[in-house]
Structure 1
Amino acid sequence: MHGSIFSDIFVKLGILILARHPAGHFEQVGEAPAWAKQRLACIRNRFPRILAADISSFLEDFMVEAQEIWDAARPEILRSGLWSEMAEDGSAPLHLEAWVCNVAEVPLLLILDAEVGYQEKADWLQTARQERLEQLDERKVVAERMTSASFYDGLTGLPNQALLMVKLSQWIENLHQHPTQTFLFLIVNLHRFQTINDRFGRDWGDQCLIQVGLRLKSVFRRLHVVARLGGDEFALLVQRPPPADIHLLLQSIQAVFQLPYQLGAESVRLSACIGVVVVDNPQGSPQVLLRNASIAMGQAKRLGAGEWVLFNEGMEQEVVSWLNWESRLQQAIVNQTLDLVFEPIVALATQKQAGLAVQLHRQSFPALSNPAFSNPAFSNTDVETLLRQANLIQALDRSILKQTEPLRDAAPAAMESHLILLPFHLASLTAASLRDQLTRWVAVAKGLSIQLVLIFDADPRAMPAMDLRPILEDLHRQGVGLALRDSGLSLATVTQVEGLPFEFLVVESSSLRLETEPALSLGQQFVQALHRQQVKLIVENVVAPTQVASLQALGVDYVKGPGVGQPLSLSQAQATRQQSGLLTQS
């Protein structure tokens, strides 16, 4: 009765609302009221082409804001006379207009109804508005959570790096205004924290990080800032104490880690390496300070557990040296031109050379002020952290294995059994291609009376957690010798290697104190316990020939180091392999 134009407007309005806010809308505001269901049926009966309409095509034509639709429809509605039909008390026009204009705020299934009282629609509208407000509150909570996630660490609740940079900027700005209020910026790295994850699993590792955060926060309250940079690194902003008290401050940080951390039924002790920057110049940027603290922390890590280093400008050149070294190492890995040296291994029972240990030569590394670099040959694990950061570990192991093939192939078939010791990383065992390379290497070595021995730097308790036992056992069945470098577990190592397929244990000569009778007795117990487990002991870095006799009396199986024989080049090592294999101890 209202004419085709008016009917078209109804159709457009109805389809738009239905398309934009389908029946699923009522899942947000409750079951659709009876009047809405009635009106929906009415519209479908009155305008059957709604059922045949392609909703998506209507959406393309009529998806506009509800206010714009109402503005277009209002003149036709006024002329139609339906305006008065919608009212019960003659004041409906204002209510109707307000109601329709609210379509943009609260989705409505229907905007016009001549058969249902206004109050019922108003009640439902109020409910819908309340639901809308609750939705807005939820969005506010979500927004707050997003803000929290942007500036706070999700695990520890401490400020994250983004908020730390903001705080650092504020402290620098404060230094502009108050030049005497200098401060310290510190980065704290947990030493060898990966062993915690490997041994106990990441869930317990996360619990340990939470405990570390709580302890640091309890020590540095109020005016200081404690943040987590990520992983096993934390940062501190601390008001600068007098120079004489900086050492005490660092001791208080180390004390956080000296007390045991309870992880399930076991307790562990941690240590930290700390990089320190004294900020007394407001010209520095947060990014530069972060870089400088990271440089100092890296130096501390190279010095060892529990060390701290104060940043100075000369360290930047050392970082450049490390970066240049990394570039050279990557190129050497690709070209298979690593600078390797080969240390003779002597079997003390026969006083003969029993094999060679493959190592990276110290010239492969930058000459940093680190006591470790005074050793003419040392394991690539001295820079394992850098290798891990550069994602070079597997590539390095692959290249070293490939470069030892000429040494393997240099032996005459009639030569007696010979060991080739190779530093290796547990992470490399997870690569199937590397395991295949090991299998091929060993298959050739068997015909040449050679046993490949892989030396791992790892806590043996981490093996089950890393699920490497099946891989280790498979390598053992293939004839690969497995060696574990002692990580400071001392006699406890004997118990931990039990049940794992390790044939060798490698220890530093300095760890065997033989000066006193009690120390000698303890050393003998240690060796005997290993032998009961059918584990042979290799002592490395034997610096003086006089040590050899004492180690032999102790029952040590093999020794290597400057006191036994100097490192050889590849050509020298090949010549040694082609000879009788005897080595007269000098």
Structure 2
Amino acid sequence: MTDKYRTAVDAAAIFSETDPDGTITYVNDQFCAVSGYTKEELLGSNHRILNSGQHPQEFYDSIWSTITKGDIWKGEICNRRKDGSLYWVNSTIVPITDDATQKIVKYISIRFDVTEHQELLQALQWRASHDVLTGLPNRALLHERLGMAISAARRHHRLLALGMLDLDGFKAINDTYGHAIGDRLLVEVANRLKETLREEDTLARMGGDEFVLILNDIQLQTLPISLRRLLETLSHPYEVDGQMLEIAGSIGVTIYPNDNEDPDMLLRHADQAMYQAKQSGRNRFQIFDVPTNNEALAASLILARLEQALMRQELRLYYQPKVNLQTSEIIGFEALLRWQSPYEGLVPPLQFLPFVERNDLIVEIGEWVIDQALRQIKHWRLLGHKWSVSVNIAARHFQKPNFVERLRMLLDRYPEVPPNLLDIEIVESTAIENMEHVSHCLIACQDMGVTFSLDDFGTGYSSLSYLKRLPAQTIKIDQSFVRDILTDKEDLALSEAIIGLSKAFDREVLAEGVETRSQGKRLLELGCQLAQGYGIARPMPADQVIKWVEHYSRVPSWGGEDD
């Protein structure tokens, strides 16, 4: 690199040069300022002096494999300063070759400090997987840990106990002493339970005064002793702000693989056993009795009825508008499934979809939904409306190897419908369960023109760290954050951060669950213009949409006060 270009880079970035063996031959002042080393300490040293230990050896092998072939490498690297602290850089490494021999004579590296960005991502990632009050894993991380524990139990032929613990008498303490005392009591309970459990076990908070225990590699003979010890530890008096408080707990437990179900069903069975413990007198435990469980029979019955409902055309799509709060423009609709049962009337999805999500019937239902949505788009276009429609796709459906081919066949049925008017929504947990497959599917579908939205954003696993790897056009802020955006500073901060990150990654951002004009106004102030929710409109049958649109055009601006 000529002195002229080196001077230009020096002024704008962290810059260094190394010889072909990785020995540092030049660094600029910015490099020294960020790393904490002097030029004298760096020159002549190997670049490994900055190794943070945060990346596996395969990461560095991939870098060297790329640049030694003469190709440019780009990516983010975590380095370690002289004082031992970590910092992140967005780095571009360029091999420089000799014009005569075409051999690499040196490598130049241009870096930009992205430490603050990474720290924000990590903080948000932690929040997405932990309970802020107690620091325990939350529901999202619990599902990840439970999945790993089930896999380990299956692989090593061991028993796993999953427990649901609910505090007895906590509401009375909250009502008597206030929520501040109640929160501090929950922290003390969490700390006491953590101290009682083994290192290989997991304690998570589900919310309120409910906790979940994952007890790995248990023995049936000693499990009752362990559960009694937990209850006894829990029942010792607590001193909180000078108040002596007493509390007890009820625990419901199910044993895997004796109860050979998936994580959601295991949690449900533990919850059932916990309520049985409460009904039996509280301050005790109850182990789930698999042979007497009737839920599997009920699920089979619902599954059979849904198969008939699909054949008898009892399923319906309701449409919820998505609008631009700033311009009042209607940008599209989300298609939401309902079951018009001849016995129960209109059945909401939560009462039947969980029973089919792990059955291939969900694939048939999903394809029916896409077909109906495309049919509705076609009808609206004939009336002069170019609204897009979003459809929710279940994990089992989206992860089918032939998903892309089947979607192409459905699109081919409606050649007059532009594919970009179909938007597919997937929840973030689906996206990260099989990242490579999902990314390939998203790209293949987008090549056909179909758009994608990432739903329930920020509620599961370590989703935020995967944002840049998922080419979804729209990020939907989960309604759990929007609901208390006016009163909860943490939800407000998290919503603001998600909006900022979405814009940084050039994604559209849409808020779900907007119920009041004040919420809409606050979202506009944060920079989120797109929204949906009951404050705009409840889901409605297709034949009511046009009338609603005519009314909405006369609704006052979202900048006003609540009605």
**TM-score normalised by structure 1 residue count:** 0.45
Structure with greater proportional helix content: 1
Between Structure 1 and Structure 2, whose CA radius of gyration is higher?
1
Structure with greater proportional strand content: 2
